[in-house]
Structure 1
């Protein structure tokens, strides 16, 4: 009996250990896939709305668990008709009913949610979480182990995973019109992926978006739902009743009945229109004003925007108008959504000197923003976003629209994207140039404290160049500002700060500087930054730090890194004096190996400072080595075994070293470890790994795989920098 009990206990323990191991591997794979966060999809809706979908014959057939001939559902409608809310509500309802549902929403204003690659990764991760299927985990684990992973590989893994799962899988994909990839071609892009999914008996896909993005898909399935006014009529009525119950409009004088009748009649099935109409009614101060506004309320979303902006012009004083324009411009042009604190700096820098910045900070930020912008923006968890992509589309229309009789009076609010980028880029430069930042960069734990002390530092240092290169050819004034930053006391401190901030994408700093110099050459204006000027500044600082700290000190090596990044661009730079040098020899190699092992040992995760130290030491030392000394060989094996906590830049340096010694298999192994860390990202580090991988594969005769590597580089460069950028053009040849 005891033996039987022990066997049972042992078996139970084995199962528990296996479960924990599966959960750990699943979590690791989910993190590696870098999925888009869909944890916020369960947004509140008005009671009773979105329920009609469950009785729609098209949806009922699509959602059937029995084998059905057609498993593609298309849901389309105009802007503001409630497509996204319907999708989120349906996903929530299906999950509550224990359907296996995958969800993704494209977004034109979120760089992580615009591509087929982001869709594939998110759906595959969703499938891993929703099903807990051993087959799916095995497929994803195998995918993770590959040398080179393309979007095609992720899509193939997704298809295999769906096929391997028992029971139907339902995918709901919202915002198809906001996807950057091809949407209407059966033989490529998004639609090809969707059609492949629906070939499986258990693969059900619903596409949701504006009609033009679903033109081809609609012809391929009888399951089509158009969210026209008659379909959403009951939802619109419930939504209006719900909004009126929360409003101060009284029932007396039949006001609420009039409001329901008028809003239902004029809404044309657009929830977004109703939101703006309700905001307008809330501004009425008497029953007469309510009735007057109901009589004059415009039809159509475009006309509603026109009326909304006209009222802003009438209601706001000059200072408030300037604030509203600044907020909208910044929110639309920013590289990422800004916090309310960050948002105040572009405005403050535009109205006064940096010495008086605190005098131009908002007294009651959220209240003030809502007062001047109303429903045009949303604030969630302290982050401001444009409320709907149609607001951006309205404000950034071309000149001919603003010259029409209907819009000429609103032209104050027109947003020219080049001018917007120039305004934001200039604000970033002013912030970075006009103050001396007291940064303690010895400890990465201080980064949070630094960003609390200087709230606009992270954004301005990281995105100033991006804004400037999108602002058109530079003017003399802009070039002078750049010169001022280059020559300021803050410049080298900012370079060190950015290096720490982007330790896993160090090559983007080099790429940004080269892009900036190319942009400068698009202007006929004299002056501005140049490589020779940059190298002169670095040389002076390098001399100063060598004399003060010594050649082996990390403060010296950080400047050495910057020098190494650019000196090859200047023919005589190698002959200049005062360049840090290292001896080659086993003692030096042993010293480097010992130092780096100390950095790694005892830490589950390396601090940013330690990652930087490792990168700089390896780069400075290995560039002079002509052979693989035994201490370094042992060190590299140790680093590869701990690759998950290594910076990508350090792995690249080691891979390059192996490649220089013609140890191609070893180099490929290191690049594989580096690529695993940057998959799902689009940036210079990833493109460099892909290029190096392609070159090695050519040398090894793997031409098909090499072509795929270079193709991925070209496509990624085009998405990141545009088709006409030098790096994009070079990657095509």
Structure 2
């Protein structure tokens, strides 16, 4: 920068000062600042006052006599003052170019690959520009304050009240001029707050864009339900050890399919595997539990959406990649193609990602199975990625899984089939926990004998033990308990038949109530609470019913009501779950004991004429029919006047 000539004298300095002041007066960046930036704004205002007071004190303000300070007689000082004034003018005249803000927030810059139409500015871009403006202003204030300090040091004003200590290193705002670290640290704290808030806003926008669901609550619930010491057997199997190892000999993804019959504890096993991987792996991990309780089971690509969302939340590089992909969509929700494309980009750029999915057999998208697996195949080609699928051995899943690595001579279908001997130690532990819970009044010897008997009979099916739990009553003697175990059908369908027969032989009113409970539980888009199912059971498809019969609500929601009027009517088909250990009874959720129970119920649920749909091929059409029954009840519920009151 060329220094201003000394020949302009005091009048020239006054002109430069006036130009500086005009520029400073136009600064309004701070007007949009929130409370966390108040200290920066106060610093700017204080420096501005000091600057004006300095000009008045040295005689270059337009409202003061132009006799000037005697130090201006020194040509070197005069020249430096002129240069400082020019610097101040340039500081606040700067355009906010790409290098005007700190490296700490560089990730917020937008990498434009194409020119967007005017007016289409994304949320991320707006946040980036807002943060950039604040960062530039902080930098300007920092430089401005330092230069004002130099002016006071070079030409100390005479006789200004309140400013006598400025040239000694103390300012009226309490900060020491010589303590630059304090100012810098304060600025950095403000920048970090702004950066965190901006990133938080961007992540919220990404969540909306991805429209993904997570399985954290399902995972937490499964871990709480898992018995200590169970499910560790899989960690020592050779197929799992090869899959989890850091080696990728073929240079491409490593798939593993763990399959087994219904009721063999695959979902709990999956939760244990996820727990182990979370503790052992340093690379990104994502998991998903398909559930018949969730509406998301209708679209397999919700699994990939969830995987992507989890990796983005835990990995900075994935977050950067997602930001870039979202920018190209102008803010609209991500399509299926865009989700798969982002998934592919992530696994190709971030090595050793691990993806787990459980319960594909619980989904209702058979026609999309091949497309789903083909999409994964294209995405993970030549990527060092692990993929683990747990499900029943269904033909469409086997076909889709084989298609993943069809034609790859180095990579075949890696699978592990769960056998009864794999889970036998676990079934013994589970049987013992059930016996101890139900028959605590019996001797240790008898409880040990009965639990061993159950483990032998269940043939690896935890669900069989669970379904038998309701028949183990403490009032029975040893012979009766042994008969209960020995005479129970070993096939699940036969066991279900026996429970269904009990429901069918209930008194008419109780039988209809049981059917209604099972219908609501099987077809609700999410698990219903005890309070919700209690109210839903009051709705009847009867034109003579003009309002909700609230006088039929129970006196109280307690253990007796839940046991006798809900669980007791449906036998072992139902169970309740708590989100947290101390959750109140009314907020507990109602679930079918297993996905196979839902299949059985929908295959056997009678229509309103009393006919049964025993043919499994008709299950889907019967599900539609039963859904229509509930839809009519929901519409009738909306017509009840009492529903629109503030509370029942």
TM over 0.5: yes
Q: Aligned with 2:356: secondary structure?
A: strand
Q: Aligned with 1:384: secondary structure?
A: strand
Q: Shift of the alpha carbon at 1:362?
A: 3.5
Residue 366 of structure 1 pairs with residue 562 of structure 2:
yes
**Counterpart contact for 1:135–1:164, Cα < 8 Å:** no
Find the counterpart in structure 2 of residue 444 from structure 1.
none
Find the counterpart in structure 2 of residue 18 from structure 1.
195
- Aligned counterparts of 1:142 and 1:397: Cα–Cα separation in 2: 47
- Aligned counterparts of 1:240 and 1:415: Cα–Cα separation in 2: 37
Find the counterpart in structure 2 of residue 131 from structure 1.
315
Q: Which has the larger radius of gyration?
A: 2
TM-score normalised by L of structure 2:
0.59
Q: Cα distance 1:349–1:149, how it changes in 2: closer, same or farther (>3 A)?
A: closer
Find the counterpart in structure 1 of residue 262 from structure 2.
79
**Counterpart contact for 1:172–1:206, Cα < 8 Å:** yes
Alignment of 1:348-363 (within 5 A): 348-350=538-540, 353-354=545-546, 357-363=549-555
Residue 281 of structure 1 pairs with residue 466 of structure 2:
no
- Aligned counterparts of 1:194 and 1:265: Cα–Cα separation in 2: 40
Q: Cα distance 1:28–1:202, how it changes in 2: closer, same or farther (>3 A)?
A: same
- Aligned counterparts of 1:356 and 1:436: Cα–Cα separation in 2: 8
Root-mean-square deviation (Å): 3.5
Residue 96 of structure 1 pairs with residue 279 of structure 2:
yes
**Counterpart contact for 2:592–2:598, Cα < 8 Å:** yes
Q: Aligned with 2:537: secondary structure?
A: helix
Deviations 1:41-86 (A, max 9, x none): 1222011111112112111111122334351011111111111111
1:118 equivalent among 299, 302, 307:
302
1:178 equivalent among 362, 379, 383:
362
Find the counterpart in structure 1 of residue 462 from structure 2.
271
Residue 424 of structure 1 pairs with residue 630 of structure 2:
yes
- Aligned counterparts of 1:253 and 1:407: Cα–Cα separation in 2: 45
Q: Shift of the alpha carbon at 1:147?
A: 5.7
- Aligned counterparts of 1:432 and 1:183: Cα–Cα separation in 2: 35
Residue 389 of structure 1 pairs with residue 595 of structure 2:
yes
Q: Which has the higher contact order (CA 8 A, sep 6+)?
A: 2
- Aligned counterparts of 1:323 and 1:277: Cα–Cα separation in 2: 22
Find the counterpart in structure 2 of residue 327 from structure 1.
517
- Aligned counterparts of 2:414 and 2:341: Cα–Cα separation in 1: 26
- Aligned counterparts of 2:453 and 2:208: Cα–Cα separation in 1: 50
Find the counterpart in structure 1 of residue 158 from structure 2.
none
Task: Give the count of matched residue pairs.
Answer: 429
**Counterpart contact for 2:288–2:307, Cα < 8 Å:** yes
Q: Shift of the alpha carbon at 1:150?
A: 2.1
- Aligned counterparts of 1:169 and 1:325: Cα–Cα separation in 2: 45
Structure 2 unaligned segments of length 5 or more: list them: 1-177, 406-411, 578-586, 607-611, 615-619
Q: Cα distance 1:73–1:289, how it changes in 2: closer, same or farther (>3 A)?
A: same
Find the counterpart in structure 2 of residue 47 from structure 1.
228
**Counterpart contact for 2:439–2:472, Cα < 8 Å:** no
Q: Cα distance 1:206–1:280, how it changes in 2: closer, same or farther (>3 A)?
A: same
Residue 376 of structure 1 pairs with residue 573 of structure 2:
yes
Find the counterpart in structure 2 of residue 191 from structure 1.
373
Residue 341 of structure 1 pairs with residue 531 of structure 2:
yes
- Aligned counterparts of 2:368 and 2:635: Cα–Cα separation in 1: 42
**Counterpart contact for 2:300–2:368, Cα < 8 Å:** no
Q: Cα distance 1:112–1:289, how it changes in 2: closer, same or farther (>3 A)?
A: same
1:158 equivalent among 334, 343, 347:
343
Q: Cα distance 1:253–1:201, how it changes in 2: closer, same or farther (>3 A)?
A: closer
Q: Shift of the alpha carbon at 1:4?
A: 6.1
Q: Shift of the alpha carbon at 1:128?
A: 0.9
Alignment of 1:703-714 (within 5 A): none
Q: Shift of the alpha carbon at 1:349?
A: 3.5
Q: Shift of the alpha carbon at 1:28?
A: 2.7
Find the counterpart in structure 1 of residue 115 from structure 2.
none
**Counterpart contact for 2:499–2:572, Cα < 8 Å:** no
Q: Aligned with 1:230: secondary structure?
A: helix
- Aligned counterparts of 1:430 and 1:109: Cα–Cα separation in 2: 24
- Aligned counterparts of 2:209 and 2:473: Cα–Cα separation in 1: 48
Q: Shift of the alpha carbon at 1:218?
A: 5.4
- Aligned counterparts of 2:264 and 2:454: Cα–Cα separation in 1: 14
Q: Shift of the alpha carbon at 1:306?
A: 1.5
Q: Shift of the alpha carbon at 1:102?
A: 0.4
**Counterpart contact for 1:74–1:223, Cα < 8 Å:** yes
Deviations 1:125-172 (A, max 9, x none): 11111223353343454355366742011110111022222x411100
Q: Cα distance 1:347–1:236, how it changes in 2: closer, same or farther (>3 A)?
A: same
Find the counterpart in structure 1 of residue 641 from structure 2.
436
Q: Cα distance 1:140–1:236, how it changes in 2: closer, same or farther (>3 A)?
A: farther
**Counterpart contact for 2:264–2:462, Cα < 8 Å:** yes
Q: Shift of the alpha carbon at 1:276?
A: 0.8
Alignment of 1:211-250 (within 5 A): 211-212=393-394, 213-216=396-399, 219=402, 220=405, 221-250=412-441
Q: Shift of the alpha carbon at 1:390?
A: 1.0
**Counterpart contact for 1:106–1:114, Cα < 8 Å:** no
Q: Shift of the alpha carbon at 1:230?
A: 1.9
Residue 308 of structure 1 pairs with residue 499 of structure 2:
yes
Q: Shift of the alpha carbon at 1:289?
A: 1.8
Q: Shift of the alpha carbon at 1:195?
A: 2.0
Q: Cα distance 1:225–1:183, how it changes in 2: closer, same or farther (>3 A)?
A: farther
Find the counterpart in structure 1 of residue 119 from structure 2.
none
Q: Cα distance 1:11–1:227, how it changes in 2: closer, same or farther (>3 A)?
A: same
Q: Shift of the alpha carbon at 1:302?
A: 0.8
Q: Which has the higher helix share?
A: 1
**Counterpart contact for 2:210–2:333, Cα < 8 Å:** no
